[in-house]
Amino acid sequence: MAKINRIFLVLVLVLAAIPVVRLLGGDLSGSVTVMQQVTPAEARGGDVVTVTGYALDASHLKEVYLTDGQQDYRLEIVEQGNVAVRVRIPAKIPAGQLRFAIIVASRPDLLEQPVFLKILPALG
């Protein structure tokens, strides 16, 4: 009889934890938004690049930025799917090595990604 009570208690605790985890912003679906690669690896202002990864669709990924750690540059999302997002680089962006950063649906803060893009100097 005691074993059944323990199993029932564990089941009740697990079921009770689900709303608490969701309330605290946890994602129980198992999908984590992450960027893995950018093509091409170099671009100029105005170019469109493709970033691949996981859970990049509109229900997960809200905004995309390039950052140098001090300044953040918001990118225009041109096309968005589950495993790829195409973004346009702003025309007025300084040359250098910048890191992608994102805002996801479940969190309001900027999350830096392990993907870099080299911005080439503007022509002319």
Cα distances from 63 to residues 6, 34, 59, in angstroms, run 45, 13, 11
Place of tokens 């690896």: 41
- The residues spanned by each domain of the chain are 1-30, 34-119
pLDDT in tens, 2-11: 666 666 666 5
pLDDT in tens, 100-117: 999 999 889 999 999 999
pTM: 0.75
**What are 66's two structure tokens?**
């390039």
Angle, CA of 111, 92 and 37, to the nearest 5°: 40
CATH number of 34-119: 2.60.40.10
CB 89 within 8 A of CB 43: yes
Mean pLDDT along residues 53-68: 96
